[in-house]
Amino acid sequence: MKINRIDHVSINVNDLLQAKAFFLELGLEVQAEWEMEGEQLDRIVGLKNVKTSCVGLGMPDGDAWIELVKFYTPSDQKGIQQTFANTLGIRHICLNVEDIETIVAKLKNDGVEIFGGIERYGGSYKLCYVRGPEGILLELAEKIT
């Protein structure tokens, strides 16, 4: 038994267009868009009467992607739960970027929450956490050469 690669990371969102626009602005590209519903999907995700719209976003030269999913039915009764870097469970996605200063300045200008600013991590990376739409946590990492 072996794992070949990470295929995708799925993020459930309420506002699919806003989340899609956020990731497009960061430089990801739409790889696919689709809608799903029916008994087979119900069995796959373990819910009843599921209807979704999805957008797969990635880099043109990459295999892995981010999958944004809007569940029309059933809806999440709890709504968006604000999380922090130390909240248990899957917390953030790290994007390797070029010119982190320009990206963070643009995100600040767009009103995106920035956690503390850009920090050097030893001599290897510049790092910054940001909170995108619907509480999505991203870590931006620029390798120092």
Q: Tens digit of pLDDT for each residue in 19-75?
A: 999 999 999 999 999 999 999 999 999 999 999 999 999 988 888 899 999 999 998
52-68: per-residue pLDDT in tens?
A: 999 999 988 888 899 99
d(CA 120, CA 3): 32
* Domain range enclosing 64: 8-73
Q: Are residues 61 and 105 in the same domain?
A: no
Domain boundary pick from 73, 103, 125: 73
Q: Are residues 26 and 55 in the same domain?
A: yes
Q: Are residues 68 and 124 in the same domain?
A: no
In contact, 133 and 143? CB cutoff 8 Å? no
Look at residue 68 and tell me if it is in a domain: yes
pLDDT for position 106:
94
The answer for 39, left when phi > 0, alpha when psi is -120 to 50, beta otherwise, is: alpha
Return the percentage of the chain with pLDDT > 90, whole number.
72
Q: Are residues 52 and 102 in the same domain?
A: no
> What six digits make up the tokens of 94?
């790290």
pTM value > 0.75: yes
Q: Residue 50 sits in a domain of what CATH number?
A: 3.10.180.10
Q: Which single residue is written with the structure tokens 């944004």? A: 68
Q: Are residues 31 and 66 in the same domain?
A: yes
Q: Are residues 69 and 98 in the same domain?
A: no
**Mean pLDDT, rounded, for 88-114:** 92
Dump strand ranges (E) for the chain. 8-12, 29-37, 51-58, 65-73, 92-96, 113-121, 125-131, 137-143
d(CA 83, CA 89): 10
